[in-house]
Amino acid sequence: MVLMKAMILAAGRGERMRPLTDHTPKPLLEVAGRRLIEYHIDNLVAAGITELVINHAHLGKQIETALGDGSVYGASIQYSPEHEALETGGGIFNALPLLGNDAFVVVNGDVWTDYSFQKLPSSIAGLAHLVLVDNPEHNPQGDFSLQGNQVMLASEPKFTFSGISILRPELFVECQSGAFPLAPLLRQSMQMGRVTGEYHRGQWCDVGTPERLQQLDQKLRVHQQQCGL
């Protein structure tokens, strides 16, 4: 794994998490005694990825206050504030000046996983590289298929996009400022054969509802007890 920057997406309103997110941004919700976003920061730093960009909108100042400049985690954090949420694609596009000209890692701030970022390739030939996982109950149809190391739109079986990727700035070359999703850009690039991927068979959870948050909390606390943590 070569050194590259990483962006953690943390600007979502977290509507499905209400009322928990009425006063706390979703990435700062705690699981087994730690904030969700801290798991990502620790795992990125462990892989040698220490230059981080975090976008925020809803209650975003709380995120800056909680994480600071990142030095306590061994990281350097820059923030990309949004006056209103720009969706995934628009949020990344808005942060490109902070991310530079090289490929960068992107992580959804509202997922939890045991994926090791050290497994990510040191470079990508196409415009994007996606980490795919088994389909959870709330997404049984999956998102994309994987043929060798190519991510495809049509064919079976399909897997779920984990929210972990490497993207190149060129993916956004025709985009303009404003709110827009990332998925159409990925699909267009897949049709051109320019998206690679890998399958992660380990643990992954989209922490999208209070029920899933509670289930993950209980699971990790049991693991901590078993490990004597």
Per-domain residue ranges of the chain = 6-226
Alpha carbons 76 and 220: distance in angstroms, whole number:
27
Q: List the CATH code of the domain at 6-226.
A: 3.90.550.10
Beta carbons within 8 Å of 117's beta carbon, 6+ residues apart: 1, 6, 43, 44, 46, 47, 49, 105, 164
pLDDT tens profile 42-68: 999 999 999 999 999 988 899 999 999
Beta carbons within 8 Å of 44's beta carbon, 6+ residues apart: 6, 50, 52, 75, 105, 107, 117
pLDDT tens profile 183-220: 999 999 999 999 999 999 999 988 878 888 888 878 88
Query: pTM value?
Result: 0.92
pLDDT tens profile 156-193: 889 999 999 999 999 999 999 999 999 999 999 999 99
